[in-house]
Structure 1
Amino acid sequence: MRTTRSTAEWVLVALVLGGIALRLVAILSWWPVGTTNADSWPYSVYAGTNPLADPQHPAGYSTFLALVGFVTRQVAVPVLLQHLLGILAALLLFGAVRRLVGSPWPALVPAAAVLLNSDEVFLEHQILAEGPFVVAISAALYASVRAIDQPVPAWKWPLAATVLAVIAGLLRSAGLFFIPVLALAMLVGTAHSRRGRMLPSATVLVVSACLLLAYAFANLASNGRFEISPATGWHLYARVAPIANCHVFTPPKGTAGLCDPRPAPQRPGSDWYLYNPASPALRLFGRIGNHDSTLRAFALATILHEPGVYLKETFHEVEGYFVPSLHAPVYGGGCPIDCQVDWIYALTYAPDVVAQTEKGMQEFYDPFTVHVSRSGINFLHSYEHPARFGGTLLTLTSVLTLLGLLIGPRRARIGVLLFGVGGLAMLVLSTFGVYYLGRYQVPIAGPMAAGAAICLWSLWQRESGRRRRALGEGAP
C-alpha cells in the first residue's frame, strides 16, 4: 500500500513540475502580462476607483487587484500571484478528491486538468478573474469535503465552504450557482441524524444569503442598484434582444424603443446590444447600468411571452459548449474558446485591441512595456489544443458525472454531486443570463475532471469487487 501511495505522490510531483514549467514559459515568453482581452481594462480601472461601480463585472476581482495595488502597482505582481494560485488550486483539488475516495490516483486527474491546462495558464497570465476564481472554487470544494469528513462541529467547515463559494461568486457571477449544489450536498452528505443534517445545509443557505444581501446593499449605496450580479437588467436584455418579437406582446412602458425591427435571423449577437453605439439600449439610456430596472422589465416580458423561443435559444447557447461546430458565428455573438483564449491570435490579428487594452490598464498600473518571445508563444500555442478542455472532454466528463450519480458508494456519489454537478451548474445555469463564450468553460475543467475521476474510480472498485467475489466463489 505504501508503494502505491509513494508512486502517486511522485506522479503529483511530476505534474506540479510540469505545471511550473508551463507557467515559466508563459512568464518568460510574455512579460509582464498578457493584454489580449479587453476585459482587463475595466478590471484595472475600477480597481483604482470603485470596484462596485463596474457595470460589467462583480466587484470581487477588482477588489483583489486593489488590495494588491496597496502594496505595488507593478502589473507583474498579480500575474505571478495568479500563477501561484493556479498551482494551489490543483493541490486543493488533489487533496479534496484523495480525502473523499481514500485513494490518490483519481485525485491526480483534476490536478492535471489545472496544472497542465494551457488555457488555464493563459487566463492566469491575463488580468482576468478566472485565475482567482479557480482557486476560490477549489478551496470551497476542499472545505466541502472536510465538512463531510468532520461533521462535528456541524457549522465549522460548512461555514468555510460557504464563505469561499460566495467569494467565488463575487469573482465571477457563475460561481453563485455552486451555492445551491453545496447546500444540497451538505444536506445529503453529512453523517448526522435527519435533524442534524439540516444544520450544515442551513448554514450554507443562511450565511450565503447574509453575505450576498450585504453585498447587494453595498451596491445600492454605491451605484443605486440593489443587485448581486452587475447590471442584470442590461445583460438579460442583451440576452433576449436577438430573439425578442414585439409583435406578440406589448413592451412595458418606456421600452418600446428597445424593439429591434429586423427579423431575428438578421440580428447581431448579445455583445452588439451591450456595446455598439447603435444599440437601442445605448441610444435610449446611455451607458451600461443606467435604467437597469427598465431593461430588466423588457427582458422579463420577452421571456414571459416567448418562453419556448427563449428556452430554445438557451439550449442552443449551451449546445455550443459541447459541440462548438453547431454554434454558427454571429457578429457580436458567442464564440468558441479560440476567439478569446489563444496564445497568438490577438497578437497577430487584433493588435489594436492589444494596444488599447495595454493603454487602459496603465490607468491603474505603473507604465509597462510588453515583451513577447515568439518561440515561446508558438510553443504554448502548439500545446494548447492537445491539452484543451473543449467540447469533447466536457461531453465525456458530463456523461461520467451523470453516471457517477447512480453508481458507487454513497460517499463517492456525493463527491460527483459536488464536483461534477457543481461544475455543470456554474456553466449551464449561467447561460440563462449570458450568451455562450468558450472561455467560460475553462474554469470548470478541474471540478469536472474530479467528478469524472470519482465515477471511474467507482467503476473500478465495482469491477474489482465483482472479481474478488468471483474468485471467492470459485475457491475450493
Structure 2
Amino acid sequence: MAHRALVIAMLPAIGLRVLVILGFPPALLFYGDSFAFLSEDLAPGTARPSGYSLLLALLRPAHSLTLVTVLQHLLMLALAVAVYALLRRRGLPGWGAALLVTPILYDEFNLLLEHMIMADAVFIVLVGAAVVLLVWRVSPATAAVGGLLLGLAGITRTVGLPLLILAAAYLLVRRYGWRPLLALLVAGAIPLGAYATWMKVEKGKFGLTEADGNFLWSRTMSFADCGVIKPPERLAVLCPTMPVEQRPYPPHWLWESFSPLLKVPGTAHRNELAGQFAQRAILAQPGDYLAAVATDLTQLLRWERTAVEEKTPYKLPRSERPINESVRGVAESYEAGPAATRVVEPFAGWLRAYQRFGYVPFPLLVVALVGALVAALVRRRWDALLPGLAALALVASPPFLAAYDVRYVIPAIPLVCLAVGLVLGGRSRPASGSAASHRATAEASRSAPA
C-alpha cells in the first residue's frame, strides 16, 4: 500500500476524535464568544468578524451542534491529508510525510478547538488549505481559489488579513506573472469587500470590526503612563489609574467593570478614541511597548501548555457546565434542545489524561519554524518561505496588536509542519502557468543570435 504510513497515522487520530465526540457532547462552549457566534440575530460583529457566524447560520436548519463539531473534525483531518499529499509530491517518503502531519492529527489543542464552537478550527483549515494550494501549483485558477480562501479567513479572524498580502508578495517575488497575482487579489477582495459593505449597511462603517482600536489600547495598558504620554483631554479618560505592577493582563481591560474604556459612550466613538490613545502611547513609550511584546513572546519558551492547577478555558471539563441564564436561550435555540456540554465517562477522563502530554511543546515549534526559515534561505527552497512566514506572522502579530494567548499559536502548527517538509523534500518545481513560459521565452530571446 503506497500510503500505509498515512493510514497508520490516521486511524488513532480518528479514534481520538470519536472519543471527543462521545466524551463531550454536543460541543465545547467558550464563554462568551460561542454564544455571540450562535446568535440568531445575524449581524456584523463588533469585536470580531462574523464569518464563522455565517457558517453556523448555514448549518442552523439541522439544529445540531454535533454536526458543527463533526464537520470541524473532518476538515482538520482533510487538511492533514492535503499537507501529506503535498509533501509526498515534493519527494518525501511516506513515513516522513506522515510523521510531519502527526502534530496536526494529534495535538490536544487541535482536538479542543475542533470540538469548540469557535472560529479557530475553520480559520486554521482555510489558511492551511490556501497555502497548500498556492505551493502545490500556481495558475490563475489555483491563485483565485487560494485568494478566496484567504479572504474567507480574513472575515473569520482578522489576524488572517496580512496573509493575503503575504501571498501576493510571494507570487510577485517568485515572478509567477500578473494573471495569478490579479486572480489572487480579486478573489480575496470579494469576501472582504462583501463583508465590509454589509458592515457599512448595518453599522455605517466600511470595515471588518469596530474594535481594532480597543484591542490595541488594551495592549498599551501593560505599560501606558499618562505622565509620559500627556494625552489631550478627550483621551485622558482612557488613562489607567492603577500602578503598572498591579494591572491585569490586556484582555481584561476590554470587558471588566474597572476599565476606563467602558466610560466612553458609543461603540464607534470608543474604538476611535482607543486607537488614537494607543498610537500616542506607543509613540511616547516605544521601548515599553516592545518590552511588553517581548514579555508576551517569552511565553513561547514555556514547555508546558497549561499547569495542572492553572485556571484556563482551554482544559477539558471534569463536570457539566451549566449555561448562564442570559445566554442559554441562544444555545438551546440553535440546538433545539439542551445545549450544555455533558461529560461522559470514561471517555472524558481518557481525554483529560491525554491532554496532559499530547501536544507539541512551543519551544520545539519555535525551533522548527526558525530552522525551516533559515534552511529555506540557505538551501533555496523558496516555497517553504510562504508557510514559514505565514506561521511567523500568525505567532508574532497578536502580542503586537492585543496580547499573547496560547490559542493564537495553534494555527501556525500546520504551516510549520509544511515548511519543514518542504525544506527536507525535493527542490521546488518550476513555476507553472504563464510565468514559466514568459521566463523561458525571455531566456531564449537573450541567447538567440542578433
TM-score by length of 2: 0.85
The AA in structure 2 aligned to 1:17 is: L
CA distance in 2: counterparts of 1:389 and 1:357, whole angstroms: 34
Deviating more after overlay: 131-140 vs 159-168: 131-140
Is structure 2 residue 289 aligned with structure 1 residue 299? no
Residue 448 of structure 2: aligned partner: none
Kept in 2: contact 1:39–1:128 (CA 8 A): yes
Residue 56 of structure 1: aligned partner: 47
CA distance in 2: counterparts of 1:311 and 1:88, whole angstroms: 38
CA distance in 2: counterparts of 1:161 and 1:337, whole angstroms: 39
Residue 445 of structure 2: aligned partner: none
What is the aligned-residue identity percentage? 26
Kept in 2: contact 1:137–1:164 (CA 8 A): yes
**Secondary structure at 1:406's aligned position in 2?**
helix
Is structure 2 residue 27 aligned with structure 1 residue 16? no
Kept in 1: contact 2:5–2:94 (CA 8 A): no
Structure 1 residue 96 displacement after superposition:
2.7
In structure 2, relative to structure 1, the CA distance for the partners of 1:102 and 1:271 (3 Å cut) is closer
CA distance in 1: counterparts of 2:224 and 2:55, whole angstroms: 37
Q: 2:63 aligns with which of 73, 83, 96?
A: 73
Q: 2:375 aligns with which of 404, 407, 411?
A: 404
Residue 466 of structure 1: aligned partner: none
**Secondary structure at 1:291's aligned position in 2?**
helix
Kept in 2: contact 1:100–1:415 (CA 8 A): no
CA distance in 1: counterparts of 2:395 and 2:159, whole angstroms: 7
Is structure 2 residue 33 aligned with structure 1 residue 39? yes
CA distance in 2: counterparts of 1:270 and 1:386, whole angstroms: 29
The AA in structure 1 aligned to 2:112 is: F
Residue 164 of structure 1: aligned partner: 149
The AA in structure 2 aligned to 1:391 is: F
Kept in 2: contact 1:317–1:436 (CA 8 A): yes
After superposition, give the CA deviation of every residue in 1:366-389 in whole Å (9 maximum; x if it has no partner): 222543123212211222243213
Kept in 1: contact 2:35–2:331 (CA 8 A): yes
Is structure 2 residue 355 aligned with structure 1 residue 384? yes
Residue 438 of structure 2: aligned partner: none
Is structure 2 residue 415 aligned with structure 1 residue 447? yes
Structure 1 residue 404 displacement after superposition:
2.4
Is structure 2 residue 342 aligned with structure 1 residue 367? no
CA distance in 1: counterparts of 2:197 and 2:404, whole angstroms: 30
Residue 151 of structure 1: aligned partner: none
CA distance in 2: counterparts of 1:388 and 1:355, whole angstroms: 35
Which has the larger helix fraction?
Answer: 1
Residue 134 of structure 1: aligned partner: 124
The AA in structure 1 aligned to 2:154 is: G
CA distance in 2: counterparts of 1:404 and 1:451, whole angstroms: 10
Structure 1 residue 207 displacement after superposition:
4.1
In structure 2, relative to structure 1, the CA distance for the partners of 1:82 and 1:355 (3 Å cut) is farther
The AA in structure 2 aligned to 1:208 is: G
Q: 2:222 aligns with which of 237, 242, 259?
A: 242
The AA in structure 1 aligned to 2:144 is: L
Kept in 2: contact 1:168–1:176 (CA 8 A): yes
CA distance in 2: counterparts of 1:19 and 1:42, whole angstroms: 30
**Secondary structure at 2:87's aligned position in 1?**
helix
CA RMSD of aligned residues (A): 2.9
CA distance in 2: counterparts of 1:321 and 1:394, whole angstroms: 9
Residue 276 of structure 1: aligned partner: 256
CA distance in 1: counterparts of 2:415 and 2:333, whole angstroms: 35
Kept in 2: contact 1:43–1:61 (CA 8 A): yes
Deviating more after overlay: 215-224 vs 165-174: 215-224
Is structure 2 residue 141 aligned with structure 1 residue 173? no
Is structure 2 residue 9 aligned with structure 1 residue 30? no
Q: How does 1:451-466 map to 2 (within 5 A)?
A: 451-457=419-425
**Secondary structure at 1:339's aligned position in 2?**
coil
**Secondary structure at 2:147's aligned position in 1?**
helix
CA distance in 2: counterparts of 1:83 and 1:128, whole angstroms: 13
Residue 468 of structure 1: aligned partner: none
After superposition, give the CA deviation of every residue in 1:221-276 in whole Å (9 maximum; x if it has no partner): 22233323451111111111232111122324522111012221221121221111
In structure 2, relative to structure 1, the CA distance for the partners of 1:358 and 1:393 (3 Å cut) is farther
CA distance in 2: counterparts of 1:328 and 1:380, whole angstroms: 15
Kept in 2: contact 1:100–1:145 (CA 8 A): no
Q: 1:342 aligns with which of 296, 311, 315?
A: 315
After superposition, give the CA deviation of every residue in 1:407-452 in whole Å (9 maximum; x if it has no partner): 33x4xx2232122221121121233112111011122211112212
CA distance in 1: counterparts of 2:343 and 2:85, whole angstroms: 36
Structure 1 residue 290 displacement after superposition:
5.3
**Secondary structure at 2:251's aligned position in 1?**
helix
Q: How does 1:76-91 map to 2 (within 5 A)?
A: 76-91=66-81
Kept in 1: contact 2:222–2:247 (CA 8 A): yes
**Secondary structure at 1:34's aligned position in 2?**
coil
CA distance in 1: counterparts of 2:88 and 2:311, whole angstroms: 33
Residue 333 of structure 1: aligned partner: none
CA distance in 2: counterparts of 1:337 and 1:99, whole angstroms: 43
Structure 1 residue 164 displacement after superposition:
0.6
Q: Which runs of 5+ in 2 are unaligned?
A: 428-450
The AA in structure 1 aligned to 2:281 is: T
Structure 1 residue 392 displacement after superposition:
2.4
CA distance in 2: counterparts of 1:38 and 1:107, whole angstroms: 38
CA distance in 1: counterparts of 2:209 and 2:82, whole angstroms: 27
After superposition, give the CA deviation of every residue in 1:93-134 in whole Å (9 maximum; x if it has no partner): 222333344654443244322222221111111101112112
Is structure 2 residue 212 aligned with structure 1 residue 227? no
The AA in structure 2 aligned to 1:397 is: A
**Secondary structure at 2:5's aligned position in 1?**
helix
Is structure 2 residue 216 aligned with structure 1 residue 216? no
After superposition, give the CA deviation of every residue in 1:177-200 in whole Å (9 maximum; x if it has no partner): 3223212322244xxxx5x53443
